[in-house]
Each structure stands twice: as structure tokens, then as C-alpha cells.
Amino acid sequence: MRLTPTLKAVAAVATLVLAATACGSSGSTGSSSGGLNPPDLKAQSKLGKSEGEVNLIAWAGYVEDGSNDPKVNWVSDFEKQTGCQVNSKVAASSDEMVKLMKTGEYDAVSASGDASLRLIASGDAAPVNTSLVPNYKDIFPDLKLQAWNSVKGKAYGIPHGRGANLLMYNTQKVTPAPTSWSAVFDDASKYKGHVTAYDSPIYIADAALYLKATKPELKIKDPYALDQKQFDAAVALLKKQNADIGEYWSDYLKEISAFKSGDSVVGTTWQVIANLTADEGTKIKAFVPKEGSTGWSDTWMISAKAKHPNCAYQWLDWIVSPKVNAQVAEYFGEAPANSKACAETSDKNFCTTYHAADTAYWKNIAFWNTPIQQCLDGRTDVKCVPYAKWVQAWTEIKG
């Protein structure tokens, strides 16, 4: 066989890959740090002098200095009052936040529950001394010292706001009105090709939450602590659901447009998306089904390697101060964390719409958490499926 030099090179590389693949499949071990034993870091005991600047990582809409919309600005006043120049970097996903925090160039981050535990475990986030954040006392008690923002009673951040993942449906096309998540799982075939779901591995928890209510024999206690059997059941349910899905959404403009055109008629959503879709004139309704729901709660955390910790602490206090917390919650579309923020919103019904102070409402919400090998629900006789496996399973579910 005559081969050209390029072809030879390709063949050589291919052979090499095949040979290497064949003989080394099980020879490696990634170091796994299962179990949550965060490095013993000390929280700051008192505030020092301002460093003159602070570097933040945030979700879009959390750190607004008027450059997107001149009327939306809560950074300039902070800079004037504290003398800390704010440099912010918008992250598009929890994974990007984790990655940016590892660089050590940032002082604080607005982490969701699916990132916060990872930051704590890897020692990238430091414990937070809540007595240095005067506004912490007004934070809703059911947000303090929760599984996603504390470890063994030690706070690792200041709660910023929260939201639930709701079931949204088109009231003209979906009848009778659904009351349960079965509308997107067991009964989804009724709207085949028009069902939508959130495009992220964390959505597996939504399936687990549904199974918790409908398949008691699986004994699911916490949708973020699934052993292999429970996890497989959730994945199987989602694979079945995939046949009925029209499209998954991660960009919320995409979901609005799909509901508007009728390409999606039922699926998960956030309150802010429901409001915007309704504003566009689409007849929709969004609610928490009888099984309860998953949700997210964001936490401002401080980097263990912060170069400007004093400014970072001042930022944490500023962002949860009643007025600013109300502003950011209204702009982003989430329930504020500060109980006094409800008096400061421009729309007086805002806190009612978003159930900010409704403790009973939040009791039914399982907030995003990072699945780790050591089961978060306290079981010690089994190993739970870690998040990396969730990611892989999500790819397989989508097929």
C-alpha cells in the first residue's frame, strides 16, 4: 500500500490513539475529594481600611453601574460612599464562576447553590464573619445557615435572593389546567414536541423531586442526594421525557419566544420569564405544583485569596442593604433576601408576586445544591452520585 506522507502521519496518530486507548483504560485515577471537609480557613475578625477597589464575579444584572441602563445603577453610590472602585465580571454559568474564582483574581462572587459547595470544598471561598455585615440581621431567617451557604454551622456567605423553578403552561392549549409535575413527565406525551425543560444537569433534580412524591419506594429524601439506584430512576424518567421535549432552554429569551409562538406549551420556568411572557400577551400561568419544586438561592461569597477583603465585606453589606437589595431583586426578577427590602420596591406588590416573605411557599422549594459523593441527606451506608456524573448523564439524556 502506497501512502502519502500526510496519510502516513494520520495513520500513525490513529494507531497510537487506538493502542493507547486499548491498553490504558483503567489505569488512571482522578483524585476525588468526596466528602465535605473544607480546608480550615479563618474568617476575618475585623474590618480594616478600604483597599480602594474590589473585583466581583456576578450574574448578569447583579452589579449594575448604569452602563447597561442609566437608570439602573447601584454601584456608583457604593463607590462614592466607600471609595472602593468596583470591577465586575459577568459569568454565564455556575461552572464559569467556579473557574474564575480559582484564578484568585476576584474578591467576591454571587454563587448559586450548585457552585457554592464546590467553592467551599476546594478552599476557594473563605468563611464569612456575619457580624461584619450589619444588614445580615435583617435577612430572612429561612435563608441563613442553609446547606448551600454554610458548613457545620459556619456561614460561607451572605444570601442575596432566591427564586423557584415553576411549571408554566399555555392556558389556551393545555387543558385541564395541570396541578402536578406529571404534566411534563408521565403525561407529557399529550403535548409531544411542545414540552420544554431547563437545559442543565441540575434539572435531574427536578425529576428526582417528582419521583420523591410519586415513587415512595425509591425513598428519595433530598433530590440532590441520589444514590445510584435513585439516580438511574431519575435519568430513565428524563430519557422518557426527552421523546416529548420540543426544545430545552437555557437562554430565557429563547423560552419566551417559544411560548409566544406556541412551540412550547408546558415546561419549567422562572417567575421573571413568566412575567415577561405574560407581558408579551401570551396567555400563560406559572405556579408551584403540588409536589413542590426546585429553586435557586444565590449567595455572595468571599474569596479565600481576596486581595481586597475589606472592600468585599463592604460590598456584601451594600448589596443586601434594604434599598439596594430591593433594586437588584426587581431588576433581576427574584425574591429579595433582606426582609426590609420589601418596603423599598417601586412596585408595591413585588414581594407578594415573588413570595419574598412567604415562609410556607419556600418550605416546598428544594434549593439547588451541589451533589457530592457523601450523601447530603445524611446517609452513610451508600455513596451518592457526584455532580460530574450528573453532567455526563445529562449529555446522554439529550442523546
Q: Which residues contact 182 (CB under 8 A, 6 or more apart)?
A: 210, 214
| Mask for 212-241, x = binds another protein (CB under 8 A) | ------------------------------
Q: Which of 63, 86, 98, 328 binds another protein (CB under 8 A)?
A: 98
Q: Which stretch binds another protein (CB under 8 A): 31-39, 104-112, 301-309, 351-359?
A: 31-39
C-beta neighbour count of 386 within 10 angstroms: 16
Q: Measured from the CB of residue 255, what is the shortest distance to another protein in angstroms?
A: 13
Closest CA to 62 of 395, 243, 333, 342: 333
- The count of other CB atoms within 10 Å of the CB of residue 76 is 12
Give the residue with the Cβ less far from another protein, 61 or 193: 193
Contacts of 347 (CB under 8 A, 6+ apart): 330, 353
For another protein, the closer CB: 97 or 133? 97
Whose Cβ is closer to another protein: residue 21's or residue 45's?
A: 21
User: Which among 354, 196, 367 is positioned nearest to 295, based on CA atoms?
Assistant: 367
Q: Does 39 bind another protein (CB under 8 A)?
A: no
Check residue 281 for interaction with another protein (CB under 8 A): no
SS3 111: strand
166: left (phi over 0), alpha (psi -120 to 50) or beta: beta
What's 73's DSSP letter?
B
Site size toward another protein (CB under 8 A) is 51
33 near another protein, rule: CB under 8 A: yes
Site for another protein contains 8 (CB under 8 A): no
Does residue 14 touch another protein according to CB under 8 A?
yes
Distance CA 118, CA 124 (A): 9
Q: Does 50 bind another protein (CB under 8 A)?
A: no
Can you tell me which of 51, 95, 142, 377 binds another protein, judged by CB under 8 A?
95
Q: In the chain, which residue ranges form alpha helices assigned H by DSSP? A: 5-23, 76-82, 94-102, 113-121, 204-214, 228-242, 252-261, 271-279, 309-319, 322-332, 350-353, 359-363, 387-398
Burial 46-57 (b: 16+ CB within 10 A, else e): eeeebbeebbbb
Near another protein by CB under 8 A, which window of 28-36, 215-223, 225-233, 278-286?
Answer: 28-36
The candidate with the shortest Cα–Cα distance to 275, out of 361, 203, 168, 366, is: 168
Q: How far is the CB of 204 from another protein (least distance, A)?
A: 14
Nearer to another protein, 265 or 366 (CB): 265
Choices 45-53, 143-151, 355-363, 385-393; region in contact with another protein by CB under 8 A: 385-393
Q: 12, 20, 90, 236: which one contacts another protein (CB under 8 A)?
A: 20
- Identity of the residue numbered 153: G
When asked if residue 11 is in the footprint of another protein (CB under 8 A), the reply is no
Q: How far is the CB of 394 from another protein (least distance, A)?
A: 8
Instruction: Name the residues that contact another protein, by CB under 8 A.
Output: 4, 6-7, 10, 14, 17, 20-21, 24-25, 27-34, 93, 95-96, 98-99, 102, 118, 121-122, 193, 242, 245-248, 254, 257-258, 261-263, 372-373, 386-389, 391, 394-396, 398-399
